[in-house]
Chain A
Amino acid sequence: MIVRPALVVAALSVASLLGVPVVRSAEQALTPLLRPGDALVRACLPSPDGIDRVTRTADVAEARAVWDAWTAALRGGARPADARRELALAPVVEVRAAAQELVVRVPEDGVEVDTPVTHHGVLLGFLRPWRRDGTRVESGGLARVALLGNPSARPVAAEWAVDEQASPVQFLLTSGKDGPSIAHASESRHPQPGQLAWTRDVSLLGDTLPPGLIVGRIVPEEGEEVPGGGLADRREVEHLVRPLLEPTTLGHVVVEVAVGAPWPLRGATADVLASTSRRGRLRLAAGRWDGVTEGDLVTQDGVLVGVVSSAGPWTAEVRRAVPPGQLLVVSPDGEVTPTAGTSDDWPPGWRPEPGWLVVTGHRVDGGLLAGEVATVGPAGLTVALPPIDPAASVRIVER
């Protein structure tokens, strides 16, 4: 008789271990049992390692300054089409690499179809309708970005030139089977492999796409070599445009939005439960009923606490780790290097050292002190998050 319930328990346990969200959320339903004794537990625990308030304040201020400077640089050469619009930092919340799409957070009713999406002066793609058969761009504060090369991304008027004095070769950047490709070039001249290309001013034709946004590097299509090593007929060589940045690694992009459009911002304030004991994990006294969901950012006075890994009805689990996306690593001499944390995107010759400051940020809260470089290996770096004050409340915000 007891076998069947045991099988159900075993199945639920496996689901819990596999991280099935419904089960992970439901299993936190018993957490209120810990609340009555929580104050006593807090009183009995040893005092946490002291936080050097002076150093912390200085680090938080530096993190904010670094973030502000970086976000200003992110806007690059882009500028809004008119005075009713402004450039805003939009966090990437989902990467759909196979579909050549990003999902970014945008203000409600604040964006339009075919709005350009940029990063550091590089054109990444365009906002497209949320549903392929619809016209509305934003849905619940989210928007879909069709990256350059995606068939649903609009063609772009672009050009390249050998130098500033040379007359530019104009072309249309379209979506080919192997990515963005060149069509309708104004001249038959061929660029050197790696030649940069950028958007051109066609405002007279009614296109408000800002000129000068880099669309990528021009490379010959693979497989154009002539068998036997002879010279290919250059007139027949097709060219592709390779993106300058790998859009799927970016944590933030720049989007043109209506001035004053409200950004969706879920947020809550919560205490940290003392009745939990695990390095790198916390439990908060706020859950789904308070508007907390998985992936939310947890902060405390300008310091990154972690990311909500599971949200129950009344409590939420926090993993003390940096969120996926862009980190800014600050060397002792003030040099700031953006990285996703893996060594793939490190500049040539650059290697961080343990102890260097790491900064991340939030679209509303601004720069956050993420900690310092803990270890550096062939795969990338790990970050040691700063200690938090367990007696103080934390802020939970939607990414």
Chain B
Amino acid sequence: MTVVLTLVVVLLGQLFVVSRGWLGSFAPDPLVVVATWVALYWPRRTALLPLVLLGWIRALVLVEPAGGQVLPVLVAAAIVAGLRQHLLEFREAGFVVGALVYAGCWSMAAFLVSRGFDVPLTGGRELVLGALLSIPLAGPAMNAARRHGEAT
């Protein structure tokens, strides 16, 4: 499953590059939805690897230090995973709220890391706009989670 997720992340990362080519900083980053999905539905004990890969690949397409994306991804995942039980009660709405919380935490963590290490990092608008993609994607995300749960 991690391999499939990695390939999905690579494809979405490249889709993000294309959308940034056309929309600039108004391009939504679809990786927020994937990260939220992992934080909410992936088994906690094995969630580290897919999250690291997600942040790492995002850093590759943005030509940034991998640590600058991996750290915020993990911080945001820890916060959203802590809210997991409450968010799952609200099904699709919970997923959307989770994505927005994830985007906010990711942006804030990226901002702090950027300031702390004096490294320019991409976050903020792209992540929040990406979280809005969770509105149409909440249903498919829950279906995928159900299949993933059956598989694992």
B81 to chain A, nearest CB (A): 11
Q: When A9-B48, A9-B70 are in contact, do A27 and B21 touch as well, CB less than 8 Å?
A: no
CA distance A388 to B114 in the complex (A): 28
| CB pair A6 B18 closer than 8 Å | no
| CB pair A14 B67 closer than 8 Å | yes
Q: When A10-B74, A30-B56, A34-B60 are in contact, do A16 and B14 touch as well, CB less than 8 Å?
A: no
CB closest residue in chain B, given A274: B17
| CB pair B71 A10 closer than 8 Å | yes
| CB pair B66 A37 closer than 8 Å | no
| CB pair A276 B67 closer than 8 Å | no
Let me know if A18 is at the binding interface, CB within 8 A: yes
| CB pair B74 A15 closer than 8 Å | no
Number of A interface residues in the complex (CB < 8 A): 38
CA distance A278 to B59 in the complex (A): 10
A18: chain B residues at CB < 8 Å are 117
| CB pair B17 A13 closer than 8 Å | no
Let me know if B62 is at the binding interface, CB within 8 A: yes
A37: chain B residues at CB < 8 Å are 10-11, 14
CB closest residue in chain A, given B75: A10
Let me know if A46 is at the binding interface, CB within 8 A: yes
Let me know if A50 is at the binding interface, CB within 8 A: no
A61 to chain B, nearest CB (A): 32
CA distance A37 to B12 in the complex (A): 11
Let me know if A83 is at the binding interface, CB within 8 A: no
B151: chain A residues at CB < 8 Å are none
B62: chain A residues at CB < 8 Å are 276-278
CA distance A34 to B45 in the complex (A): 28
| CB pair B61 A276 closer than 8 Å | yes
Q: When A13-B71, A19-B65, A27-B59 are in contact, do A33 and B6 touch as well, CB less than 8 Å?
A: yes
A283: chain B residues at CB < 8 Å are 60, 63
Number of B interface residues in the complex (CB < 8 A): 36
| CB pair B68 A277 closer than 8 Å | no
Question: Max chain B CB contacts within 10 Å: which of A17, A33, A317?
Answer: A17
- Type the 1/0 row for B1-28, where 1 means its CB is closer than 8 Å to any CB of A: 0000010001101101110111000000
Q: When A13-B70, A33-B6 are in contact, do A278 and B65 touch as well, CB less than 8 Å?
A: no
B48 to chain A, nearest CB (A): 6
- Type the 1/0 row for B44-67, where 1 means its CB is closer than 8 Å to any CB of A: 110110001100110111111111
| CB pair A9 B11 closer than 8 Å | no
Interface residues of A in 1-15 (CB under 8 A from B): 1-2, 5-6, 9-10, 12-15
Question: Max chain A CB contacts within 10 Å: which of B21, B57, B65?
Answer: B65
CA distance A14 to B66 in the complex (A): 9
CB closest residue in chain A, given B118: A17
CA distance A37 to B57 in the complex (A): 14
CA distance A15 to B66 in the complex (A): 10
CB closest residue in chain B, given A47: B21
Q: When A9-B48, A283-B63, A317-B63 are in contact, do A16 and B16 touch as well, CB less than 8 Å?
A: no
CA distance A23 to B74 in the complex (A): 19
B47 to chain A, nearest CB (A): 8
Let me know if B137 is at the binding interface, CB within 8 A: no
| CB pair A275 B17 closer than 8 Å | yes
A47 to chain B, nearest CB (A): 10
CB closest residue in chain B, given A317: B63
Across the interface, B63 reaches (CB within 8 A) one of A6, A10, A15, A281, namely: A281
A287 to chain B, nearest CB (A): 13
Let me know if B144 is at the binding interface, CB within 8 A: no
A50 to chain B, nearest CB (A): 16
Let me know if B122 is at the binding interface, CB within 8 A: yes
Q: When A17-B117, A30-B56, A31-B60 are in contact, do A275 and B70 touch as well, CB less than 8 Å?
A: no
- Type the 1/0 row for A43-86, where 1 means its CB is closer than 8 Å to any CB of B: 01110000000000000000000000000000000000000000
A4 to chain B, nearest CB (A): 10
- Type the 1/0 row for A83-95, where 1 means its CB is closer than 8 Å to any CB of B: 0000000000000
Nearest 7 interchain pairs by C-beta: A13-B67, A16-B67, A281-B63, A27-B66, A17-B117, A45-B21, A277-B17
8 pairs, CB–CB < 8 Å, chain A vs chain B: A1-B45, A13-B68, A14-B67, A27-B59, A45-B17, A275-B61, A277-B21, A278-B62
Beyond A34-B14, A275-B13, 20 extra complex contacts between A and B, CB < 8 Å: A1-B45, A2-B45, A6-B74, A9-B52, A12-B67, A13-B68, A13-B71, A14-B67, A16-B68, A17-B117, A17-B119, A19-B65, A24-B65, A27-B66, A41-B18, A45-B17, A277-B21, A277-B61, A277-B62, A278-B122
